[in-house]
Amino acid sequence: MHVRRAEPPDLACVIGCAEQAFAAFASVSDQDDTPHGDLAPKTDRELTSQILEGAVSLICDERKVLGYISLQPTTDHLFIDSVAVLPKHHGKGLGSQLMAFAEMEALRLKLSSVRLFTNAKMVANHRFYLRRGYLETDRCDHDGYARVFYSKAI
């Protein structure tokens, strides 16, 4: 597996990954312990913009996109906007590789932390982030979603 920057021709694969990852959440029980994408899939326009900005990175086997992560650097931290892995590849460490990639990007950019939020209903996400050293920093309701915020010092 390798991680590379997404390019415009990758858009359809990224959209497909997002749709499958987020759809999988609807049928996953709270007992499942695999990472899933956060909240709702991005629109085609949002994903196109993020790809053009260089914000989306893909995890791929030799030929196929298996997942992606969207990163937004700020002045003091790296924000993970979205992370998704194709459901048939859950539990294979791809989400962990994407998170490690984000942490390496934060180091490369000399940022002090990585931050993200997830939907409070996505219980598996909470276990996933906590096991990787992320600490819960806040909870709130916003735009109809109960959000849980996480941070990890780098």
Rounded average pLDDT per 10-residue block, the chain, 154 residues:
94 91 59 42 80 96 93 97 93 96 97 94 90 96 88 96
pLDDT at 124: 86
pLDDT at 45: 85
pLDDT at 76: 94
pLDDT at 29: 37
Bridge partners (DSSP) of residue 69 are: 57, 83
The span from the CA of 54 to the CA of 68, in Å, is: 12
**CATH code given to domain 2-114:** 3.40.630.30
